[in-house]
């Protein structure tokens, strides 16, 4: 029973490690995506400024503002691409292996317990059958139980008498 509890604790800890790894990646993805969204907002702001300058002046500050906005959009796109490619590390694979090993151990123990239960069931069926036979013919069981010792004594006494 102690090994069963130990195996369950190992599985529980492995599941916790898996969840922690997934949460860690999810928080990094959310943070990177939020930062990319912030940069995108700055880019949109710069586009607004660029549009304003385009109307206000002839081509000078407009191209500078458009260049900054394009750089902001490029950085945002790179951050979104990086965030989408984040994966869990090797600790997740190790946690999965530990969990799978624990589950296999539990399955093996369950098979052993099932074999023991089947053996007890077979013994109980044999006892039931012998009780049913005894209840149907109580003299047969009694005669067989008494006849064997009587015959053994008779054979021993006959062989001693010949000696």
- pLDDT (tens digit, 9 = 90+) per residue, 23-43? 999 999 999 999 999 998 888
- pLDDT (tens digit, 9 = 90+) per residue, 99-153? 888 888 888 888 888 888 888 888 888 888 877 776 666 666 667 677 778 888 8
Are 76 and 39 spatial neighbours (Cβ–Cβ below 8 Å)?
A: yes
**What pLDDT sits at residue 7?**
82
Q: Is the pLDDT of residue 70 over 80?
A: no
**What pLDDT sits at residue 163?**
56
Count the domains in the chain. Answer: 1
Mean predicted lDDT score pLDDT of the chain? 80
Look up residue 86 and give its DSSP letter. -
Q: Distance between CA 78 and CA 35 in Å, rounded?
A: 11
Helices (H), 57-137: 60-84, 90-136
Phi/psi region, residue 88 (left: phi>0; alpha: psi -120 to 50; beta: rest), is beta
Provide the domain limits for residue 60.
Answer: 2-162
Q: Is the pLDDT of residue 11 over 60?
A: yes
């Amino acid at each position: 029973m102690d090994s069963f509890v130990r195996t369950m604790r190992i599985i529980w800890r492995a599941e916790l490690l898996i969840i922690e790894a997934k949460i860690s990646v999810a928080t990094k993805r959310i943070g990177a995506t939020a930062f990319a969204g912030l940069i995108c907002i700055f880019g949109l702001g710069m586009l607004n400024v660029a549009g304003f300058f385009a109307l206000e002046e002839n081509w000078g500050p407009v191209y500078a503002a458009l260049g900054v906005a394009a750089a902001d959009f490029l950085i945002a796109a790179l951050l979104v691409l990086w965030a989408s490619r984040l994966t869990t590390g090797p600790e997740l694979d190790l946690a999965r292996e530990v969990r799978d090993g624990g589950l296999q151990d539990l399955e093996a123990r369950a098979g052993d317990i099932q074999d023991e239960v089947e053996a007890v069931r077979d013994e109980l069926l044999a006892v039931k059958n012998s009780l049913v036979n005894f209840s149907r013919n109580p003299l047969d069981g009694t005669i067989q139980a008494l006849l064997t010792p009587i015959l053994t004594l008779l054979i021993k006494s006959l062989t001693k008498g010949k000696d």
